[in-house]
Amino acid sequence: MDTELLIKYFARIVTLLLVLPLHEAAHALVAKCFGDDTADNQGRISLNPFVHLDMLGSFLMVFTGFGWAKPVDVDPRRMKNPKAGMALTALAGPVSNLIAAFAAGLGRACILATDDGLKAVYDYAVFNEVSMLYCVQLLLEFLMLVNIGLAVFNLIPIPPLDGFNVMRYFTGPKVDRWFYTHYQQIQMGFLAFIIILNLDIIPDSVNPLLMARKGVYELMWDDLLYKIPAKKWGWE
């Protein structure tokens, strides 16, 4: 197994143990801020991964790069403002992923702005020499990609993903009824869509999830964080 593939899997394990718990704890914390302590009473405001992990979602996270944890139980009847509370509770998860991606990218940018970091990348590119610092910056890059991918995936406006409850803030009861009336068909179609994506039937250039992830990555890295090492080494 080559270095990049090994680090890619390691990044997925790190995401599973650190980032998915952050995602679910963010849901629970925002729900409590709006008055619903259901998840808090279940111990979900915690970064302990074993409180949150789902067996199938964990397996898929490691081997496909996307997955999920156990859903956080939320009771909108206990919220002070149920409509806004449900939307912001849902939004908290993807936002936590974007924050994690930004933190990973910032760490990578700072490494590349050092003499040792630049040398590590140069040695790998020219001499195929793998150093610990090269592995760290590559791990941070993969963590950026995995977290952006999770944020994009979770914002798809289909139940039970977070994007559905965000969308519901802007729609009315008719939309809710349509989704719940056709819930089974939507779930089957969505499952088929995910299977097709993982079979690589759709080229990356027209894969909507990969295109969205690429766009957010370019905005975060190319247009923002890359400027740190670029300014240091005069690449601008």
What angle is formed at CA 143 by the lines to CA 69 and CA 217, rounded to 5 degrees?
Answer: 110
User: Does the active-site annotation cover 4?
Assistant: no
As beta bridge partners, residue 69 has: 53
Residue type, 127: F
Q: Which two tokens stand for residue 196?
A: 């097709």
Residue type, 228: I
* Whole-angstrom distance, CA of residue 82 vs CA of residue 89: 10
* Whole-angstrom distance, CA of residue 41 vs CA of residue 177: 30
Q: Which two tokens stand for residue 151?
A: 């944020």
What's the longest Cα–Cα distance across the chain? Answer: 62
- Which of 24, 141, 218, 236 is labelled catalytic? 24
* Whole-angstrom distance, CA of residue 32 vs CA of residue 75: 10
Cβ contacts of 133 within 8 Å, gap of 6 or more: 111, 116, 117, 120
Q: Which residues are catalytic?
A: 24
